[in-house]
Amino acid sequence: MKRYDTISIVQISFLFTTAIGLKNHVTVIPHLVAAGKRDAWISVLFALVCILIWGFLIKYIHKATAPHNIFEWIGKQINEKVKWFISIPCSLLCVFLGAVTLKEMVSWTSVTYLPFTPIFFLIALLVGLCLFLAMTSLQTIVIVNTLVLIAIVVFGFFVAFANLQFKDYSLLKPILEHGFKPVIEGVIFPLSGLVELIAFLFLQHKVHGKITYKAFLINALILAWLIFGPLTGSIIEFGPTEAARQKYPAFEEWGIVTLGRFIEHVDFLSIYQWITGALIRITFFLFISIEVLALKDDRKRRVVLLIYSLIIIILSLLPMSEFLFHRFIGQFIMPITFWFFLFVSILLGLFVFIKNRTKRRLNYVQDQEETTT
C-alpha cells in the first residue's frame, strides 16, 4: 500500500463523524424518541455500553488482519468462495444504505424548500457528485469532508446554544416512568448507527498505523453524543409527546432559533448540514462498496461504481409514501443493519480465532520436531 493511498486515524474519525453522524443525528432520533419517549436518552447509554464491549471484538479482528484488506485476507487465509459470500452482501448493503440516505434527503428537500423541482433532477445531481467523488480517492474524500465538517460543527453548536432559552430539563423526569420496556424497545435504533463503526475493519488497509481501542472509543463517544445531544434537546424543548410526533426533531430545533427580537428563521443553515452530510455519506458507502469487493483494476472499479450509482437512482425513484418509507426504515432497515453487521463481525472473529488456533498448532508441531531432532 502506497503512502499517498492511506489516511490517518484523525481523518477517518472526521469521516465517520459526518458519514455515520448524519444517520445518528437525523435518521435515528425520530424512531428512537417514538419508541423510548421520555427515557429515549437511556437507550443511547445502553447502546453505547454494548458497542464499547463489541469494540474489543473489532480490536481482536483488526490486530490479526491489519494492514491487509480484510476481505483479501479471508480469500487467502480461509477460502475465496467464503470471501465472496461475505463481501458481496456487505457491498450491496452499503449501496442500499446509500439509497436510503438519498431518498430520505430528497424527500425532505422536496417537501421543505424545493417542492416544484423534479425529484429525478435532485437525485441525478447528487448521485453524479457522489459518483465523481467516489471515483477519486479516499484522501480526496476526507479532504472534502474536513472542509464541509467545519461548518457543520459550527452550526451544530450554534443551534444548541441559541436554544438554551427554550430548554426545560425537568421534562426529562420522571425517569423510567414506564419501566425498562420503552428503553429496551428503543435501543436497537442507536445500535444500528453505532454498529457502522465496523467500517474501521472495511477500511483498515487504507489507514496508516494501528487502529487502537482508544480510537474506537473516541469515535463511539462522538457518534453516541450526536444522538444524545439533539435527542435530549428535542425532548426538553418540545416535550416527549410532541417530539415523538415530529418527523425530524433535529430539524425542528432550527425552527425555533431566535437571536434577540429581529433575527430568526435561520433554519436554512440546516439545509447545508443535511446536503453536505448526505453527500459525504453516500460517497462513503459507494467507496466502501468497492473496497469490500477488493477490486484492483481501476476500470472494473469505475464500471461497478457506475452500476451501483444507477441502482441507487432506481431505488430512490421507487414510489413509496412518506409514511410507509418512514416505517420501513424503523421496522426493517435499522434492525437489519445492526444484526447484519453484528453477524459479519462475529463471523470475522471466528475466522481469526480458527486461523490463530491453526497457527499455534503448527508452531507447536514445529517446536516438537525441532526438539526431537
Q: How far apart are CA 188 and CA 299, in angstroms?
A: 39
Residue 116: count of CB within 10 angstroms of its CB: 5
Residues 292-313 have a mean pLDDT of 93
DSSP string, 230-286: HHHHHHHHH-HHHHHH-S-HHHHHHHT-EETTTEE--THHHHHHHHHHHHHHHHHHH
The values of phi and psi at residue 257, to 5°, are -70, 125
Q: Would the pLDDT of 1 be above 50?
A: no
Q: Would the pLDDT of 262 be above 80?
A: no
Instruction: Indicate the pLDDT class of residue 254, thresholds 50, 70 and 90.
Output: confident
Q: How far apart are CA 368 and CA 190, in angstroms?
A: 51
Q: Would the pLDDT of 267 be above 70?
A: yes
Task: Tell me the whole-structure pTM to 2 decimals.
Answer: 0.93
Per the CB < 8 A criterion, the answer to whether 62 and 201 are in contact is yes
Question: 3-class SS at 86?
Answer: helix
Pick from 150-164, 231-245, 355-369: least confident: 355-369
What is the DSSP-derived secondary structure letter of residue 207?
A: B
CATH code at 162? Answer: 1.20.1740.10
Q: Would the pLDDT of 4 be above 60?
A: no
Pick from 137-146, 198-207, 220-229, 266-275: least confident: 266-275
Q: Quick one: what percent of the chain has pLDDT higher than 70?
A: 96
The count of structural domains within the chain is 1
Q: Of 50, 48, 40, whose CA–CA distance to 177 is shortest? A: 40
Give the domain extent around 57.
3-372
- Beta-bridge mates of residue 264: 258
- Beta-bridge mates of residue 207: 7
Residues 57-75 have a mean pLDDT of 93
